[in-house]
Structure 1
Amino acid sequence: MRMILRGAAALATLVTVASLTGGAAAVPGPGTSAPVAQAARIPDGVTAGVAVFDRRTGTFTEQVDESARFRSASVVKLLLALDFLWDRGPEHTIPEADRALLEPMLRSSDDDAADHYWSEYGGSAIIARMTTRLGLRDTAPPPAGYEGYWGYTALSARDTVAVYRYILDKAPAPVRDFVMDNLRRSTRCASDRFDQHFGIAGSFDRPWAVKQGWSGAYAKRTCGASVTAAEAEPAAAPATRAAAPATKATDGVDLTRPALHTTGTVGADDRTIVAVLTLHPVGTSYGKAYTDLGRLTRSLNVPGGVRPAGAWFGTWGEFVNVRKGPATGEARVTRLPAGVEVLVGCQVRGQVVSVPPYTNEWWAYLPQYGGYISNIYVSSPDNRLPDVPQCGSGVQRSYSAR
């Protein structure tokens, strides 16, 4: 791990998510529903298209530039899967060879699987077929010169909602169940080692189902229990995958700014469909985009959405380890995107961590990761985080003698 001195955080008296809310960092406790009639808060510098649809009432609770076109990134994988499954009625089973491709494509956003379906089933013709079948209004194939790049398919927030409404309300039951079951099993680490549990997955307790998307010059891939030096380097997208180098907007779709999208359903019985498509300034880090998308998603009025208990804090450092327990010898769960905001459920005394001249024996428990990080990497001027309870006595006893 490359450590960042805590002193910079202390001297600057860095703020938590309180700067977003205008008050304390704490969020509503467990069992609380999403706030009513709260307008979307779009962070500075972010361009967003938002649509939130309550299936119980049949109404939108949020709409912000819902018809604006964005490059889809991996959200288009929903259309690739639906196109393949289109003529497969209840009497048809999915061949094992295709199941082995579709499941990781939907759960872990596997690009190799998307390449296969794009090349085998007609590329842009897939988008033309699905646009007609689903009555999509803003969706369009990749622009001229980029026909091989499925991630450059144009998509809007309202069309994304329409795709989910088809899956949930009109698709044959086997298709609906197959797609939604895989989206509910979304893996934190995508196939390309990006942490994909941002937005919806980070803002609400389960049940939720997500298909995320990211595209752009994000420099670091950090997700997983181990990360090699090669994987930590900037990723160059192969020419047949999600994105190609681009220097301009094409057909009204921005191909240059980093994109980060969160889409899916929230709540029991997939009550609410959420589509948040975003673009970020060139040079934005993955952790910053991840954080800004999270803040935007948490601001939305999402009926049936339950907020996780805890308080949000920023972090410092690259490849900060999340450990099974509050000690550096504990197994690594994953590594955080650099500078990402995290939900802290409680804190506990553990192994002393030293970054001279600073030391800290407190560790923060991150419930959404199921592990701990040293408080030395949390953006707060004090070793012990304010307004965060101490973890249960069982955890405390386990590490008090270390």
Structure 2
Amino acid sequence: MNRRTVALCLLASGLLAATVVGVTTDGGAVARSGDRVPAVSSTGPLNAVKPVDCRTTTRGDAALAQEVAAAITEVAPGTRVGLAVHDRLTNTTITSLNADEPFYTASVVKLLIAIAVLHEANWQVPEGQDRADLAAMLSGSSDPVASALWGAHGATDINHEVSALLGLGGTSPPSQPGQWEMTRMSPRDVVRVYEFIDTEMPGPARDFVVGALADATRVAIDGFDQYFGIPDALPGAEKAVKQGWMHIRNGLVLNTTGMIGAEGRYVVALLTEGPAASTFDPATTALTRGVAVLAPTLTGPEG
């Protein structure tokens, strides 16, 4: 997948302006190293250059979001749905629903963990086993790796400090520091994370992260089929995804997120929480049907 450059974001913003104005673990794993790694800082090399702001500028088609939610709840009644679909070429929201409300992330928080690890390393991708572990956390959704890195890189400090680095407004840490999967994020914040990774993260780190997400395995390391939602609904599309799934005390969390299309034009964040009686089947089917509603928009001639 070719990466969109910062210049493209600036060009897209300029064109728009010209138009308008003229499965879960309990976390807490001990890091493999006996030394505590400093928490990610909001100061660093990125602050020397003003980040490109490719965030949402307009609210899109509310009816489309309602169609997505209806497709999901028809199969999985009682599911709460959060959605943000962003077109990075035009810098607009295609559609959204509950886009600023918090949802449990489950494994989607592994994107924040990866950012923390790479930022602390001055955006240098590790080598050897550390590189393999980081890739396994992103491609195969490895919980043991996530727990180790979470503990080694500051636990809930990751939530606070990566939020400050990226300007996230709807992200909050888990109430129990070891439970990384209980982080909450808004769909709009998830979109912002993908934009940061693909347009503001230095090249080698960006290529590593996006490449790992593009290589997401059908079967995760815990044995779960993680091709629900975006992968199964858009089988022929170019994509880089991070999925999330877990049972919680009073329900079920299922999330499908990623960049879709040539140069990652579209970013989709579909986050859901089902009622206590929910099961992964048919909940995974429900999310796939929800994304299928978006398919004509994401893969049509104009895309």
TM-score class, shorter: 0.7 to 0.9
Between Structure 1 and Structure 2, the one with more helix by share is 2
Distance in 2, matches of 1:281 and 1:153, equals: 19
Specify whether residues 302 and 182 from structure 1 end up closer, same or farther in structure 2 by C-alpha distance, changes over 3 A only.
farther
Residue number in structure 2 paired with 1:181: 211
Query: Does the Cα contact within 8 Å between 2:79 and 2:273 map onto a contact in 1?
Result: yes
For residue 161 of structure 1, the aligned residue among 164, 185, 191 is 191
Residue number in structure 1 paired with 2:238: 207
Specify whether residues 65 and 114 from structure 1 end up closer, same or farther in structure 2 by C-alpha distance, changes over 3 A only.
same
Distance in 2, matches of 1:70 and 1:173, equals: 30
Distance in 2, matches of 1:162 and 1:93, equals: 22
Q: For residue 241 of structure 2, give the secondary structure of its aligned residue in structure 1.
A: strand
Q: For residue 210 of structure 2, give the secondary structure of its aligned residue in structure 1.
A: helix
Q: For residue 276 of structure 2, give the secondary structure of its aligned residue in structure 1.
A: coil
Q: CA deviation at 1:88?
A: 3.6
Query: Does the Cα contact within 8 Å between 1:89 and 1:172 map onto a contact in 2?
Result: no
Distance in 2, matches of 1:121 and 1:306, equals: 42
Specify whether residues 258 and 96 from structure 1 end up closer, same or farther in structure 2 by C-alpha distance, changes over 3 A only.
same
Specify whether residues 285 and 175 from structure 1 end up closer, same or farther in structure 2 by C-alpha distance, changes over 3 A only.
same
1:67 aligns with 2:61: no
Specify whether residues 114 and 284 from structure 1 end up closer, same or farther in structure 2 by C-alpha distance, changes over 3 A only.
same
Residue number in structure 2 paired with 1:124: 156
Taking the TM superposition and a 5 Å limit, the aligned residue runs for 1:85-124 are 85-89=118-122, 92-124=124-156
Aligned residues: 232
Residue number in structure 1 paired with 2:80: 47
Q: For residue 189 of structure 1, give the secondary structure of its aligned residue in structure 2.
A: coil
Unpaired runs of 5+ residues, structure 1, are 1-35, 217-244, 247-255, 308-402
1:138 aligns with 2:170: yes
Q: CA deviation at 1:297?
A: 1.3
Taking the TM superposition and a 5 Å limit, the aligned residue runs for 1:1-12 are none
Residue number in structure 2 paired with 1:284: 278
Distance in 2, matches of 1:93 and 1:260, equals: 29
- Higher RCO, 1 or 2 (CA under 8 Å, sep at least 6)? 2
Q: For residue 176 of structure 1, give the secondary structure of its aligned residue in structure 2.
A: helix
Unpaired runs of 5+ residues, structure 2, are 1-59
Q: Provide the aligned C-alpha RMSD in A.
A: 1.9
1:300 aligns with 2:294: yes
Distance in 1, matches of 2:146 and 2:117, equals: 11
Deviation string 1:106-146 (CA, Å, 9 cap, x unpaired) is: 00100000011111111001111101000000101102xx2
Query: Does the Cα contact within 8 Å between 1:141 and 1:147 map onto a contact in 2?
Result: yes
Identity of aligned residues (%): 38
Query: Does the Cα contact within 8 Å between 1:50 and 1:275 map onto a contact in 2?
Result: yes
Residue number in structure 1 paired with 2:268: 274
Q: CA deviation at 1:89?
A: 4.5
Distance in 2, matches of 1:302 and 1:89, equals: 40
Q: Which 4+ stretches in 1 moved above 3 angstroms?
A: 87-90, 301-304
Q: For residue 131 of structure 1, give the secondary structure of its aligned residue in structure 2.
A: helix
Distance in 2, matches of 1:138 and 1:302, equals: 29
Query: Does the Cα contact within 8 Å between 1:267 and 1:306 map onto a contact in 2?
Result: no
Larger Rg: 1
Deviation string 1:236-268 (CA, Å, 9 cap, x unpaired) is: xxxxxxxxx64xxxxxxxxx2100000001111
TM (norm. structure 1) is 0.55
Q: For residue 64 of structure 2, give the secondary structure of its aligned residue in structure 1.
A: coil
Which residue identity does 1:208 align to in structure 2?
A: K
Which residue identity does 1:83 align to in structure 2?
A: A
TM (norm. structure 2) is 0.73
Q: CA deviation at 1:283?
A: 2.1
Distance in 2, matches of 1:195 and 1:136, equals: 30
Q: CA deviation at 1:291?
A: 0.9
Specify whether residues 267 and 180 from structure 1 end up closer, same or farther in structure 2 by C-alpha distance, changes over 3 A only.
same
